[in-house]
Amino acid sequence: MAFYFDEPSRTFSEYLLIPGYSSAHCVPSQVNLKTPLVKFRKGEDPALSINIPMVSAVMQSVSDDNLAVALAQEGGISFIYGSQPVEKQAEMVKKVKRYRAGFVVSDSNVSPEMTLQDVLRLTEQTGHSTIAVTEDGGPGGKLLGIVTNKDYRVSRMDLDLKVKEFMTKLDDLVYAEEETTLKEANDIIWEHKINCLPLVNKNRELVYLVFRKDYDTHKKNEHELIDSHKRYMVGAGINTRDYETRVPALINAGADVLCIDSSEGFSEWQKITIDYIRKNYGNDVKVGAGNVVDAEGFRFLADAGADFVKVGIGGGAICITREQKGIGRGQATAVIEVAKARDEYFEETGIYIPICSDGGIVHDYHITLALAMGADFIMLGRYFARFDESPTKKVNINGSYMKEYWGEGSARARNWQRYDMGGEKKLSFEEGVDSLVPYAGSLKDNVSLTLSKVRSTMCNCGALTIPELQEKAKITLVSSTSIVEGGAHDVMLRDQR
């Protein structure tokens, strides 16, 4: 006979937090949001943590290299979408790893024999106006000069003019040794009133460019998420089909963590994929798995060796899985049950496996609730899609700016690997929609506002860390009438008259 759960499954909006005692030192500026990203043994530190509990969804319309850099600057991590050719995904990972506010490996390079036409083409391709001139035209060749838009006038110069004729030559350039620290580089930049400082090795080969604008950004990012080489950290999505080519390419590109992206993770395909990683890379490569929505699914992925487990089916803003297939579970209930299973597993084995609540965050307080219910971090799609840094188009609809946001299960994404149950190699029916979301500005401004609310609520609960919140949180269900009471009510809003 079928198994029936006693309780209906519930969403975040059906719960509230009840404040606990907060002492005078419990203030938002003291809250630490650092949280484990991968599993660890009791008493040990996790191999990877993130500085804020937010990660971006493995989606075409959300996580490219641009958003990954912006999120790492705030302390979170992106999972670059896997529904693209392996080489393209690996290139995005490389771009994040190369991009460190401060030290940039030059991606716009020419040789002295190339022409003004080549320079213009490159500038258009990369969007960068500083071009390194190296002997071989590569990013690590012997540095001969620099070309910026101050060196040429298109209207006055022949497009066939060779670069060596108009570049600023090395003798006239300020440059420094590769060991120069960011602070020293910045001092040189200021002293010489320049915008870019090339750093070279002993053979005078180009190693990095340091830009004035990057140093300013760098100074503002106190929570930035960087690896031991001071590069931004980045994750990448994989699937249970082409992992034998995708995983090596992503690891070579420098991905810090992988995540199996699948709509339904309680499956042997996930175990096979994790087995492949363990066999070839041992525990050096970290991989999350999912998605599951109950204790049994969690236990399966924990035993399969997942480094974190993603929770959620059917709650995503663009998701129509529940309507199409009738599978899923209210996101709050799923998180509560999986968190309990995670704690039991920890008790039994001494291994803590972080869980990620994926999808369905509508209000900022849903993040705090998910954390209080036991999530270690939260994956968001719609939230990030609204920002300048997301990969999608900003469109003007009747005077309001919107951003495009489409699901991985939509015909537009064509991500059959995420939904494939074996052998079909096509999307038989859609599980996601193609939509628009209100444009909301920069990631930095929005994340800092969201987290200021999270910190504030945590203080109301007397908690300065996420584990403390999970221990102290008092959570209540709310009736449908009290949900109405929770918004502005029985008043006429001025801007809606």
**Under the rule (CB under 6 A), what is the footprint of ligand IMP?**
57, 59, 263, 312, 316-319, 321, 358-361, 379-383, 407-410, 431-432
CA distance 100 to 233: 10
Closer CB to ligand IMP, 175 or 298, in the complex: 298
Smallest gap from Cβ 312 to ligand IMP, in A, equals 6
CA distances from 473 to 22, 93, 449, 462, 470 (A): 12, 37, 22, 9, 6
* Peptide bond connecting 398 to the previous residue in cis, omega within 30 degrees of 0: no
263 among annotated binding-site residues: yes
Enumerate the H helices of 18-148 as residue ranges.
65-74, 86-98, 116-126
Smallest gap from Cβ 388 to ligand IMP, in A, equals 18
Report angle CA 307, 311, 312 to the nearest 5 degrees: 150
Closer CB to ligand IMP, 15 or 419, in the complex: 419
Beta-sheet pairing, 54-56 with 377-380: parallel
313 among annotated binding-site residues: yes
Closer CB to ligand IMP, 271 or 322, in the complex: 322
Smallest gap from Cβ 99 to ligand IMP, in A, equals 24
261 among annotated binding-site residues: yes
Smallest gap from Cβ 437 to ligand IMP, in A, equals 9
**CA 182 to chain centroid:** 25
319 among annotated binding-site residues: yes
432 among annotated binding-site residues: no
Cβ–Cβ < 8 Å for 367, 378: yes
3-state SS class at 477: strand
From the list 319, 356, 459, 461, the catalytic residue is: 319
41 pairs with which residues across the strands? 351
From the list 329, 342, 418, 455, the catalytic residue is: 418
Percent helix / strand / coil, the chain, rounded to 5: 35, 20, 45
Q: Which residue is closest to ligand IMP by CB? A: 432
Q: Quick one: which of 382, 378, 100, 64 has its CA closest to 236?
A: 64
Smallest gap from Cβ 81 to ligand IMP, in A, equals 10
Closer CB to ligand IMP, 180 or 270, in the complex: 270
108 among annotated binding-site residues: no
Structural tokens at position 386: 């609204």
H helices, E strands: number in the chain: 17, 24
Closer CB to ligand IMP, 180 or 240, in the complex: 240
342 is catalytic: no
Smallest gap from Cβ 117 to ligand IMP, in A, equals 43
**DSSP codes joined into one string, 167-181:** SEEGGGS--EETT--
Structural tokens at position 153: 């006038």
314 among annotated binding-site residues: yes
Closer CB to ligand IMP, 11 or 456, in the complex: 11
461 is catalytic: no
Residues 6+ away with beta carbon under 8 Å from 27: 459
Binding-site members for NAD(+) are 261-263, 312-314
Binding-site members are 261-263, 312-314, 316, 319
Binding-site members for K(+) are 314, 316, 319
Catalytic residues, which ones? 319, 418
